[in-house]
Amino acid sequence: MKIPLSSRLKACAELVNPGARVADIGCDHGYLGISLLKNGIAEYVYASDLREKPLQKARENAARFGVAENIEFCLGDGLARIRPGQVDTIVMAGMGGDKIAGILDAAPWVRDQRVRLILQPQSSANDLRRWLGQHDYRIEAETLVLDGGFQYAVMLVTYGGGQPLSPGEQYCSKQLMQSGSDLLVPYLDRVIAALERTAEGLQKANEPVKLAYYSTAVEELKEMRKQL
């Protein structure tokens, strides 16, 4: 049987090191953890979700693919029920960037260079990048994937060595610029157009502080676009 893994989750799986002990937070159907185990990448998977119905479905899928004995399922919020040292890799995919930041903020034990974070924000990726830079997390690598007609960022993040990002970098990190993704040009074009509309609205609303932020982001992103 083929595991129905989306492009987003495939990109996340590619960032997991062999032998990893993985936490899949917001596991939904459980296919990421199942794929990691079936392909001999992960040694152990901790799969959690806030909702009982998808978690039960994940249990059923794990049993169907014969990997249930290596997955611990848990109904819970974020990383609250994971013990320090229980996992070395944390995947959070398909939730908002602000939600991901909140989960990390509530779990001080992840501020450890040995913990590998694989983050795929469904929205507010700029807010997540901003938060990471402000809290000493470093984006080691970032790329874009196309899934269901939408572009999504997938980031590999570790603690330590992070620094505040400029307005433009919050929308397109240096690591994303270095990725060579074929999606970069359409991504930048879309973001620039959206931010220009936002800046135009702020100009009419007479909000100089927000206008300065978005105007700076647009100029930086246009410069990045020229480099491509």
3-state class (DSSP) for residue 139: strand
Is the pLDDT at 146 greater than 90? The verdict is yes
Cα three-residue angle 223-206-173, rounded to 5 degrees: 25
Q: Map tokens 């135009």 to a residue.
A: 200
Alpha carbon distances (Å) from 23 to 11, 139, 218: 16, 19, 36
- Which residues, other chains included, contact 221 with Cβ-Cβ below 8 Å and sequence gap of 6+? 168, 171, 172, 188, 191, 192, 195
Is the pLDDT at 94 greater than 90? The verdict is yes
Average pLDDT over residues 162-183: 97
The pLDDT of residue 190 is: 98
- Which residues, other chains included, contact 198 with Cβ-Cβ below 8 Å and sequence gap of 6+? 214
The two structure tokens encoding residue 161 = 């060595």
The pLDDT of residue 204 is: 85
* Residue burial 28-52, b: 16+ Cβ < 10 Å; e: rest: bbbbbbbbbbbeebbebbbbbbeee
| Dihedral sign (CA 47, 8, 169, 128) | negative
Cα three-residue angle 146-148-149, rounded to 5 degrees: 65
Average pLDDT over residues 128-147: 98
What's the pLDDT band for 1 if we cut at 50, 70, 90? confident
pTM: 0.96
Look up residue 100 and give its amino acid.
I
Residue 213 parent element (H or E): helix 208-227
Is the pLDDT at 189 greater than 90? The verdict is yes
Q: What is the mean pLDDT of the chain?
A: 96
3-state class (DSSP) for residue 101: helix
Is the pLDDT at 92 greater than 90? The verdict is yes
The pLDDT of residue 205 is: 87
pLDDT digits over 107-123, tens only?
Answer: 999 999 999 999 999 99
Alpha carbon distances (Å) from 81 to 40, 73, 76: 25, 11, 7
Q: Map tokens 């029920």 to a residue.
A: 81
